[in-house]
Amino acid sequence: MAFVIRKLNVSRTLGEEIRELRRATGFTLSELEERTKVRRSFLDAFERDDFSALPETLYARNYLRIYLRALGASDPDYFMKRWEEARGTCDFKGASVMPRQRVRRGAFIVASRFVKVAGVAAILIAVTGYIGTEVRAITSAPPLAIYGPEDGAATRNATVVVRGETDPGTTLKVNGQKVLLNSNGSFETDVSLERGVNVIKIEGAKRYSQSATLYRRVVLEADKSTAMGPGRTERIP
Q: What is the pLDDT of residue 104?
A: 60
Superfamily (CATH) of domain 144-225: Immunoglobulins (2.60.40.10)
Least trusted range by pLDDT, from 57-71, 189-203, 211-225: 211-225
Is there a cis peptide before residue 143, judged by omega within 30 degrees of 0? no
Fold of 14-86: 434 Repressor (Amino-terminal Domain) (1.10.260)
Distance CA 141, CA 206 (A): 7
The pLDDT tens digits for 91-125 are 343 444 445 556 565 555 555 676 778 778 888 88
180 pLDDT above the threshold of 90:
yes
Distance CA 204, CA 62 (A): 17
**Which pTM value belongs to this model?**
0.43
The dihedral through the CA atoms of 224, 227, 228, 230 has a sign that is: positive
The dihedral through the CA atoms of 47, 51, 52, 58 has a sign that is: positive
What stretch(es) of the chain map to CATH 1.10.260.40?
14-86
